[in-house]
Amino acid sequence: MVPDEEAALICAKLEERGYRGAVVPIEHVAQLKREVEERLSQKEIDAGLYEKYLTYFKFDVVATLPGARSIIVTVAPQPQRNATFHFNGQSYSVIIPPTYYHDTDNPIREILQGILGSSGCQLHPIALPVKLLAVGSGIAEYGKNNIAYVEGMGSFLRFKAFLSDMPPGRSDWLEPRVMDECDSCKACLNACLTRAIVPDRFLIHAERCITFLNESTDEFPEWLDPAWHNSLIGCMKCQLVCPVNKQFVKWVEQGEDFTEAETELILNGVLLDRLPPETAHKLNRSYMAEYLDVLPRNLRALMK
Ligand code: B12
Ligand code: SF4
Ligand code: SF4
């Protein structure tokens, strides 16, 4: 198969299943790295606070997959999930935002493997700044809230990037841009309770973002009102008010139900391997097991 045909087949097969994708030449990784380094040198990103995220990116793609030639960026629509916790006779229904569930990663990987395997090409998941990648590839656009939007999905989605040694074929690379809808709107700026989104620069003040604070095991800063928490982890404020998300905001699927006893164990910070297997399964199925260390604090804030 010629490279353009293989890339087109990947996009078509993903679309058949409701996903979207693009194949990008590996050369653009250097651009992604430069973009992030530029933000660091301008001190728009605080390297100290951001360290764990920055070290997560794997810009040295050839070390990850020798012979890598393409990046495949994919996107899957995702709902919010509603998890229920029972405590002291009361039920608490709490939101797990889109993105945290990884349930679309494997089906996407299988589709890609099915196509690439037949031409002897390899596939490797890779941690890259996927919003920049998706916007550069043309499948997404930025909102003023720094979140990336895809036509037909709004921002209710999950991105995933893969490396491959397949030839990329022809593709355009676009400069980062903001949706036209943002021109006359500042709903997300007004909705952000911590003022992480500001009018005088595009990049949010990540260190003020509720997600940054409630994904971290550090104590909440004093200025953060616990009542601002709106999700078990992360924050939905700047997405729920966005007019581009209007048709998706009510897309909420039922998640796991944690009994009184299970909720108590979680609130008491019991480690995963000490939890009853069924409780651990529920956490794994909710993709919350990796956040178990911050759940007691976050859940308490929501229960108040
Ligand atoms: C670190 C991180 C965070 C940090 C910092 C986020 C930030 N904006 O800096 C924190 C913890 C705060 C965070 C929060 C959230 N995150 Co987050 N996060 C990440 C992670 C791991 C890396 C992102 C990163 O650091 N990129 C580097 C930065 C600098 O790139 P960037 O934000 O795209 O910024 C570029 C542009 O701003 C551009 N640029 C600069 N100037 C200008 C000017 C203009 C005009 C334009 C157009 C562009 C532009 O250049 C910058 C790069 O240099 C990614 C996963 C991944 N693999 O990418 C998820 C990810 C970005 N997060 C995601 C989500 C969903 C969230 C939350 C909504 C959490 C939630 N669900 O509750 C919030 C949203 C906060 C917000 N409003 O942005 C999703 C985004 C999905 C989407 N639809 O866009 C990702 C992709 C995870 C995933 N796999 O789906 N996140
Ligand atoms: S709320 Fe308005 S300004 Fe913010 S991302 Fe959505 S359309 Fe753009
Ligand atoms: S996720 Fe919440 S705290 Fe972060 S920028 Fe959006 S509204 Fe603000």
The pLDDT mean for the chain works out to 94
Residues 10, 72 contacting (CB under 8 angstroms):
yes
Global pTM? 0.96
Closest ligand, as measured to the CA of 224: 3
Is residue 14 in contact with ligand 3, taking CB distance under 6 Å?
A: no
Here the tokens at position 15 are 């679309």
Q: What domain range is 143 assigned to?
A: 3-91+98-303
Q: Which residue has the tokens 């909420």?
A: 252
CA 75 to chain centre: 10
Is residue 32 in contact with ligand 1, taking CB distance under 6 Å?
A: no
Here the tokens at position 281 are 């399964």
Q: Which atom of ligand 2 is nearest to the CA of 147?
A: 5
Residues 39, 203 contacting (CB under 8 angstroms):
yes
Q: What's the domain count of the chain?
A: 1
Choose the weakest-confidence range: 55-59, 193-197, 198-202.
Answer: 55-59
Q: Which atom of ligand 1 is nearest to the CA of 100?
A: 71
Q: What are the DSSP calls for 213-274, one per residue?
A: HHHSSSPPPTTS-GGG--SSSS--HHHHT-GGGTTTTT-EEEEEEE-HHHHHHHHTT--GGG
Report the percentage of the chain scoring pLDDT > 70.
Answer: 99
Q: Which atom of ligand 1 is nearest to the CA of 239?
A: 68
- The confidence band for 3, taking pLDDT boundaries of 50, 70 and 90, is low
Is residue 244 in contact with ligand 2, taking CB distance under 6 Å?
A: yes
- Looking at the DSSP bridge assignments, the partners of residue 92 are 85
Which protein residue has the closest C-alpha to ligand 2 atom 8?
182
Which protein residue has the closest C-alpha to ligand 1 atom 23?
129
Is residue 195 in contact with ligand 2, taking CB distance under 6 Å?
A: no
Is residue 249 in contact with ligand 2, taking CB distance under 6 Å?
A: no
Q: Quick: pLDDT tens for 140-157.
A: 999 999 999 999 999 999
Measured between its terminal Cα atoms, the distance across the chain in Å is 59
The predicted structure's pLDDT at residue 1? 59
Give phi and psi for 211, each to the nearest 5. -60, -45
Q: Quick: pLDDT tens for 250-294.
A: 999 999 999 999 999 999 999 999 999 999 999 999 999 999 999
